[in-house]
Each structure stands twice: as C-alpha cells, then as structure tokens.
Amino acid sequence: MVAALIAALQPEAIAATALGSVLGLFFGSIPGLTFSMALALMLPFTFGMPAVPAMALLLGIYVGGMTGGSVSAILLGIPGTPSAAATVLDGHPMARNGQAGVALGAAVIASAFGGLFSLAVMMMLLEQVSALAIRFGPAEIFALVLFGLSTICGLAERSMVRGLVAGVLGLMLMIVGLDELDGVARLTFGTVQLQQGVNLLVAMIGLFAVPHVIAMFLDHGRGEPRRVPHGVRARLPSLAQLRQRLWLMVRCAGIGTGIGAIPGTGGPIAAFLAYDHARRFSRRGERFGEGELSGVVAPETANNAVTGGAMIPLLALGIPGDPATAVILGGLLIHGLQPGPMLFSTHIETIYALYMAIVLAYAFVLAVQLWGIRVFVRVLEVPPHLLAVCIVVLCVLGSYAIRNSTFDVYLMGVMGLLGYLLLRLRIPIAPVVLGLVLGETLERQYRTALILSEGDHRIFVDSGPALFFYALTALTVGLHLLSVRHARRR
Amino acid sequence: MRLDRLDRWLGIGLAALALAWLGLAFAYIPGARGEGEPGPRAFPILLGVLLFVLGVMLAAAGFGSARRRAAPAQEIEPPTRREAAVAAGTFGLLMLYAFLLEKAGFVAATPVVILLAMRGLLGLRAWLLNLSMAGGVTAVCWLVFVVLLETPLPRGSWWWLL
C-alpha cells in the first residue's frame, strides 16, 4: 500500500493525473467532443511513459470527462456528454434562475461523491470477482466474452440488426493480419503492414474522431455562436442542502455503480434512472424540471458512480462495457497489465496506485471546477470549427505515434471514412469497436477449447459457469428485445 | 429517402459484401490442418455467414415494411452536396496529410494541411487567423509532442532535393 502511494504521488504521476483531469473536463464539457475521443487520441502518447503515470492520465481523462459534461449542460442547456443529458433538465433552469454557481458546485460535489463511492465498492468487489475468474478455462472465457459481446444490444441504439451488423464488421476487421495460433496471414494480400492487423487504436481514432470532425466542419456557419454567461463562479452548496440530500446521493451512487457494472449500459441510463428515482421519491417532485437542486445532484452522482462500476468487469474479467473503457483496456494491455485474476497477484501495487490516481483525479476536478471555472467556461467560447482543425492534427499525430508508421495514418483516414459511412447508414460505431476489442479473445478461446476437446463442441456446454454466462447473454438479448417491443407499442 | 428503402439496399449490399468476404476467405485462407482443430478459416467463414444472414434480414424487413405500409414510412435525410463535399474533402485532407508527413515531414506538412482546411473546407478568408492557426498549432504540437513527450515525428524524405 505504501509503495502504491509512493508510485501514485510521484511528480510524473501527479502531473499526468492533473493533465488528464483537465483534458477530460475540456473534452467532456464541449458538446460534440467526447472523452472517448480524448482517450483514443491520448493513448498513443502514453507509450513511452511508465504504467502508473500512463494509466493515471487515462483515468484522469475518464473521470474529468464524466464530470465535465455537466458544465455545458448547466450553462448552455446542451449536455457535453450523453451522460449529462439528465443534468440539463434541472441544471439549465437553475442557471436561467441565476443559480448557475450553486448548480455547478452541487454537480461537482455530487460527481466526486458518486465517483469515490463507486471506487470504494470497486475496491471491495474486484478481488472477489477476479478470484472466481481464476478457475475459468477456454470454454468459460469464450462464454464470458460472448456475454461481453451481447452488450452490443445496449449499444445498438435504434435497431438490433444494425447493431449486430456493426459488431460483425468489427470482428471482420479483427480477422485481417497474422493468425496468432497458426501463423497464417489472413486477407493481407501480400501487404507487409497489414500482417500486424488493423491496430485497435488506429481504428478507434478514425472511427470516433473523424465523423465528429466532419460534423464540426459542417456545423461551421450554421446557427448562432454559443453565448456563455459571464462571471460564473461555482459555489458549494450549503451543509444543510448537502445533508438533506445525503441519503439520495448514497442511493443514486448505488444505482450508478450497479448500472456501471453491467457491460453495455453506461452513464446515460444510470443518470436518467437516478433522476427518475429522485423525482419519484421527492416531496418536491412537482418542482423537478424547474430548477430543483436534487435534479442536478441525482444524475451527477449516478453518472460518476458508473466509472467505478464499469471498472469491475474491466479489471476483473477484461470486459469493457463502453467505448471509453474499451480504450482504457487497450491502455492496460499496452502497459502489460493484463486484466483478470493474475492482475492482482502480479501488479497489485500498480492497481492500488491506480485507485489513488482516481482519488487524485477527483481532487483535481473539484479544484478546477471550484476555483478555475471562470477561466474554464471560456473554453466553451472557442469556435468548434477551430477545435476540429486541431483534432485533425491530433488524429494524425496519434495514429502515427502508435507504431511510427504513416501506413497507420492512411488506415486511420480509411477508418474515419468507414465510421462516417456507417453513421450515414444508421449503423452505430460503438459495437464495431467492441467487436474489434473482444474478437481476438473470442476466436482464440473458441479454437483453443476445440483443440483441447479434440473437436468436441460439448466442451462449451459442459461447465456451470459457461452455462451461467450463456443464460446471462440470453437474458440481455431477451430484455433488449422486450424493451424494443415495448417502445414500439408506445 | 425512406428508411425501408435504405434497409432494402443496405441489406442487399451487406449480403453481397458477405458473399465477397466468403469468396476471399475460401480463396486465400487455408483450412484446418489436423482433425478436431477448426483452423484459421473457420471464424472468418462463420462471420461471413452471419453477415449474410443479417443482410438478408435487413433486406426482408425493408421489403416487408414497404408491403405492409401500415404506418407512415420514416423519412431520412440524404446527404446534401455540401455534406458530401466536406466528407470527401476531410478524407482527402487526411490522405494528403499522411502523404506529406512521409515526404515533407511534420513541420512542413502540418501548416499546409491546416491552411487547406481553413481555406478550403471552412472557407475562412482571414489570412491572419489562418496563418496564426497554421503556425501556432504546428509550434505547440512540436513543443508538446517532440520536446516534452519525446515522440519521434517524421522529418520527411524530400530534404535531399534542397
């Protein structure tokens, strides 16, 4: 624990956490930019760093991004991230009523509370969950990854078939390159650069950032520039206000942590569930939507509590629940931190250092939001089209830095075009990334299991844990189909 | 464009892509070597079949909803000429950036690309802004990535021409 504390408090790690938190706040607060994009853009630049500062940078972006969405939600009425959509409902009316400072202060306190609550839960559960996973063989891991892929349902937005198409396209992209088990080149057509396959990060930068850049270029000249209120200062809510809402914050943090632990759900669902919960059980339910403080506290607690919850399947089982955690998984793997049971026996100091980095990140976010908010809201006035030009440069630098290869820059451009076309065809992008991330493990475990059983497919249904994961997969798909049918009837 | 029409064409396109994928997989990826081992071709074929089935499902849904006409068809906005030009322009810009990065290096390629984006894609005529963006972004990136983070950026291969 002491060694972990020392690692987390090295100047390099502190600087990385601070930089990550500010970058996350920046990307999270500007509508149109996402912190998943920030994570994908910054990951290549962590290659040369030691594991703790590198992961502290990424976790800082994750924490800052989740919190930053509330700034534009409250001040502009536009959520900076989808997770902050529920915060608009009462946060913006509060700003219109001249209470922007209290809303911002409450949002940041609630965010820190939710994040730290979920971190505590994560610390308690992680080792137990990963201890279970140590008994898993290839068939169980295959079933587990299949369950991870079933989260495509949650990421599929409007149409499940389109979501599945996206997932299959991601898996197909993963096929290209040298086959790990047989050493055979698959669909490389003699191209040496393709033998290493489609790099996950290159694909993520292209798929996430380029369609956003195109949208920002297109928005140039449309509509009026954003008007940000001047002289805004975050004000902490009074102790009495906080005490009145403490139990609500605990409940919403529980909702956020639980939702976050289910892959494929994420911040928006948690925030809206918490908002609805707060409205339903409040004595002032009729005031929700007109600028009620609990309407800011509840969603902000829940969406930040998702961060710790999402880390449980990520660190214990290697299952990312959303695009942001998929990038963090990429970061863990690059720095030699293979998620799963062995992580806690081989890298326990690093893991404890990362817990501390999350605590530090919340401290930085709190400080920036409380004392630097007046400078920070100026960021919202930067014209988006100029940011788009900077993002083009960052996309190219990021994809080049991964393997020092201009081929990757070309590939990133192609992935960007693919991402744009998919969005135009109403095919969601997140399942493509999920397919790319999980595909390799799915195929490797499937083939390894069959090699072990000498081709007998019964190996996949012979074990209890595997059947449990198949049942979870069926439940996830079934529940999604039911909710789609319910929504259509309404 | 109506959504059911998009579904139909998208479904047909995906099914065709799946067939092409299956053809490539059979032609270029070897099968299993030993008994009981699925081999490197099994998974690609499974994916091709899955994509084909999904394509057929999408096309069938498109044809089905066109036939039923129970509810008013959902309209989707086709891309405008400007949107197509901006998307193509952004893609072209990225390809040009990659080319220039390799040949002329980061310091020469970046300002050129920024100026092209500002003038060509955004139509900004304020030369002072354009030039300061080009110079400023290049300088800041150089300082942060090369000096601070020690990231090796390409120097280009055209310098021997000078």
| Cβ-contact A400, B154 below 8 angstroms | yes
pLDDT score at A347:
81
Confidence band, pLDDT 50/70/90 cuts, at residue A337:
confident
Dmax over CA atoms of chain A, in Å, equals 71
pLDDT at residue A264, as a whole number: 62
| B30 and B90 both lie in a single domain | no
Same domain, B95 and B24: no
A267-280 vs A85-96: helix crossing angle, rounded to 10: 60
Name the percent of chain B lying above pLDDT 90: 56
On whether both B47 and B87 belong to a single domain, the answer is: no
B59 & B12 share domain:
yes
CA dihedral (A340, A342, A345, A349) positive or negative: negative
The pTM for the full model equals: 0.79
CB B45 within 8 A of CB A175: no
Cα Rg of chain B (Å, integer): 25
A266: left (phi over 0), alpha (psi -120 to 50) or beta: left
| Residue where a domain terminates, one of B15, B43, B67 | B67
Q: Quick one: pLDDT at residue A392?
A: 92
In a domain? residue B72: no
Question: Which of chain B's residues have a Cβ under 8 Å away from the Cβ of A23?
Answer: none
B132 and B98 inside one domain: yes
Question: Is residue B76 domain-resident?
Answer: no
Q: Do A451 and B36 touch (CB under 8 A)?
A: yes
- For A83-139, what is each residue's pLDDT tens digit? 787 888 888 888 878 788 888 888 888 988 998 998 888 888 877 777 777 778 889
- B41, B67, B93: which is the final residue of a domain? B67
Residue B88 has pLDDT above 90, yes or no: yes
From chain A, pick out residues whose CB is under 8 angstroms from the CB of B90.
210, 213-214, 217, 392, 416
Query: Does A292 have pLDDT greater than 90?
Result: no
Domain with B21, as residue range(s), is 3-67
Other C-beta atoms closer than 10 Å to the C-beta of B135 total: 14
Does the residue B135 lie in any domain?
yes
Q: What number is the ipTM of this complex?
A: 0.92
| Distance to chain B for A184, nearest Cα, Å | 7
Q: Is residue B129 domain-resident?
A: yes
Average pLDDT, chain B: 87
Instruction: Determine the distance from the C-alpha atom of residue A48 to the mean position of all C-alpha atoms in its chain, rounded to a whole number.
Output: 23
Answer with the one of B23, B42, B67 that is the final residue of a domain. Answer: B67
At residue A231, the pLDDT reads 64
Q: Are residues B49 and B115 in the same domain?
A: no
In a domain, B73, yes or no: no
Q: How many domains does chain B have?
A: 2
CA atoms of A357 and A142, how far apart (whole Å): 32
Give me chain A's average pLDDT, please: 83
B47 in Cβ contact with B21 (< 8 Å): yes
Are A443 and A184 a contacting pair, CB within 8 Å? Answer: no
B99 and B29 together in one domain: no
Task: Clarify whether residues B137 and B93 are in a common domain.
Answer: yes
- Does the pLDDT of residue B161 top 60, yes or no? no
* A386-431 pLDDT per residue, tens: 888 988 998 898 888 878 889 999 999 999 999 999 999 989 888 8
Within B29-74, residue ranges assigned H as helices are 42-68
Enter the tokens of residue A4: 């972990």
Say if residue B99 is in the same domain as residue B136.
yes
Q: Identify which of A38, A30, A34, A32 has the alpha carbon closest to the alpha carbon of residue A394.
A: A38
Are B117 and B147 part of one and the same domain?
yes
Closest CA to A385 of A41, A32, A26: A32
- Token couple for A158: 């409007």
What integer pLDDT is reported at residue A227 of this predicted model?
Answer: 64
Is residue B133 included in any domain, yes or no? yes
CB contact under 8 A, B145 and A45: yes
In a domain, B75, yes or no: no
Cβ-proximal residues to B161 (8 Å cutoff; 6+ apart), any chain: none
pLDDT tens for A178-227 read: 988 888 899 988 888 888 888 887 888 888 889 989 988 998 877 666 66
Token pair for A161: 């078939």
Expressed in angstroms, the distance from the first to the final Cα of chain B is: 54
Is B149 found in the same domain as B91?
yes
CB B43 within 8 A of CB A449: no
Q: Same domain for B143 and B111?
A: yes
Helix (H, G, I), strand (E, B) or coil at A129: helix
Residue of B58, B112, B151, B157 to mutate when probing chain A, most A C-beta within 10 A = B151
Residue B148 inside a domain? The answer is yes
